Amino acid sequence: MASAFEYAPAPESRTVVDIAPSYGLFIDGEFTEAADGKVFKTVSPSTEEVLSEVAQAGTEDVDRAVKAARKAFEKWSALPGAERAKYLFRIARIIQERSRELAVLETLDNGKPIKETRDADLPLVAAHFFYYAGWADKLDHAGFGANPKPLGVAGQVIPWNFPLLMLAWKIAPALATGNTVVLKPAETTPLSALFFADICRQAGLPKGVVNILPGYGDTGAALVEHPDVNKVAFTGSTAVGKAIARQVAGTNKKVTLELGGKGANIVFDDAPIDQAVEGIVTGIFFNQGQVCCAGSRLLVQESIQDELLDSLKRRVSTLRLGDPLDKNTDIGAINSAEQLARITSLAEQGEAEGAERWSPACELPTSGYWFAPTLFTNVTQAHTIARDEIFGPVLSVLTFRTPDEAVAKANNTQYGLSAGIWTEKGSRILAVANKLRAGVIWSNTFNKFDPTSPFGGYKESGFGREGGRHGLEAYLAPSSPKGER
């Protein structure tokens, strides 16, 4: 591709990370093998190189970890909040110190560009621990009544798209509120959670407060089902979220679910086009579109469709796809062969259903899992690619004429996680934001996150919020007056 600038490659050094050939489960402060000796391999999605072999937790291991967490809960929850806070502050600091190492590790294991792990994931991970550290000794002021109580052992299952960030979102509020944790990272991205286990050791965190169990879906299911788990937190697909909601029915387990989305990015005719184009690109190509709140449906006002699409295509043509460790890379690898197959199949379905496919001239590396940034035009609301979450760098473009039509189309989904609004008119932003049924609305910006800001969905995008004061509620017992039952 001819370009005004030719960049020299600038790969981040892998030497800052020392990946061991094998890792165990982290239970009660120790790394240990799985009871049945099972292991699985984790590969680098950009090269298919085997990075390490990781112990795979089974039912017996889940039971061991829950027992360890239960034992640790007594002391941890009884600790003065100020002391718990100091542990969390320590963890935040160590994450900052080791952020380059963790960023490179995350890029190797996940396939996302170093630019994103370095500048988005890691700073947010540290910020989450800092934010919730400060809550630990101020819970009386959080609005959930005086002297709010933790729930007990939290079973947490996180996805592969933001491995360390999702860990931070789950572990930081759980520990701040006095709960202990058993966390299952995703099978394709277990490494940063295991490095985090080491950080817990460096921070001197009491044994058993945090336990990490790599494994597949069955490990997660065993954790959710475990009778001695008091709280279930899950981020992942809506289908699994529904299964979890069924599993916990009739129990006393408190549940929060952060599930899928099909976010609408609405561009009105008075929008600042250049900024909107940047926002659309961020909305769908950040993290290869493997983002639950991705702006995967572009709703553009008909009168500016041509202008906007020309601009957008020009911009997408400048994105650099390739080595995730190169700091000039915009688009990295798809996380797994399985995910690539899903994206490929949905894109093919888009074509088969009559939508018009476009990608820039883009050479894909020969090894690893790659998918070129892709736009679909002539998309209608009935198309599969306008309804199903693709979880990849695929944007569906729809049009509208009036604000009412934009709102109706944006809301026409079972999901309700995110939306974007692009217009220079303040009153229109507020009116449209008011009518959109979504938990996070970015106006004249997109994909912004902050630990102080609650995040979570309406409808089938799940329930509960993570981040902010709201995020504490998921880990505290309800305050209602109780009678006899």
Partner 1 sequence: MSAVEKTEKTERLSVLKTYKLYVGGKFPRSESGRVYEVTDPKGKWLANAPLSSRKDARDAVVAARKAFGGWSGATAYNRGQILYRVAEMLEGRKEQFVREVADAEGLSKAKAAAQVDAAIDRWVWYAGWTDKIAQVVGGGNPVAGPFFNLSTPEPTGVVAVLAPQESSFLGLVSVIAPVIATGNTAIVIASERSPLPALSLGEVLATSDLPGGVVNVLSGKTAEIAAPLAAHQDVNAIDLAGADDVLAKELEIAAADNLKRVVRPQAVDYSATPGIDRMTAFLETKTVWHPTGSLGASGSSY
Catalytic annotation, residues = 258, 292
| Shortest Cβ 27–partner 1 spacing (Å) | 30
- 458 part of the interface to partner 1, by CB under 8 A: yes
Q: How many residues bind partner 1 (CB under 8 A)?
A: 55
- 335 part of the interface to partner 1, by CB under 8 A: no
In whole angstroms, what is the distance from residue 391 CA to residue 414 CA?
16
Q: Are 242 and 221 in contact (CB under 8 A)?
A: no
> Any bridge partners for residue 297, and if so which?
264, 396
Nearer to partner 1, 110 or 282 (CB): 282
Which position among 80, 143, 354, 365 is part of the footprint of partner 1 (CB under 8 A)? 143
What is the sign of the dihedral through the CA atoms of 256, 261, 267 and 268? negative
* Structure token digits, residue 395: 């944007």
Name the segment binding partner 1 (CB under 8 A); options: 52-60, 90-98, 373-381, 454-462: 454-462
Q: Which residues neighbour 163 within 8 Å (Cβ) at sequence distance 6 or greater?
A: 106, 109, 110, 185, 186, 189, 190, 191, 192, 193
H/E run at residue 123: helix 122-135
CA atoms lying within 13 Å on the CB side of residue 3: 14
- 453 part of the interface to partner 1, by CB under 8 A: yes
In whole angstroms, what is the distance from residue 179 CA to residue 95 CA?
21
Q: Are 390 and 237 in contact (CB under 8 A)?
A: no
Place of tokens 């072999």: 53
Which position among 230, 463, 472, 474 is part of the footprint of partner 1 (CB under 8 A)? 463
Question: 71: how many CB neighbours lie within 10 A of its CB?
Answer: 15
- 227 part of the interface to partner 1, by CB under 8 A: no
Q: Are 406 and 299 in contact (CB under 8 A)?
A: yes
Binding mask 375-414 for partner 1 (x = CB under 8 A): ---------------------------------------x
Q: What are the E-state strand segments in 194-331? A: 210-212, 231-235, 254-258, 264-267, 297-301
Nearer to partner 1, 217 or 272 (CB): 272
- 466 part of the interface to partner 1, by CB under 8 A: no
Nearer to partner 1, 143 or 365 (CB): 143
Nearer to partner 1, 330 or 460 (CB): 460
Name the segment binding partner 1 (CB under 8 A); options: 12-20, 45-53, 323-331, 453-461: 453-461
- 452 part of the interface to partner 1, by CB under 8 A: yes
Name the segment binding partner 1 (CB under 8 A); options: 59-67, 134-142, 201-209, 446-454: 446-454
Radius of gyration of the chain from Cα atoms?
A: 22
Residues in touch with partner 1 (CB under 8 A): 127, 143, 145, 238, 241-243, 245-246, 249-250, 252, 257, 259, 272, 275-276, 278-279, 414, 416, 429, 433, 438-445, 448, 450, 452-456, 458-460, 462-463, 465, 468, 470, 473, 478-485
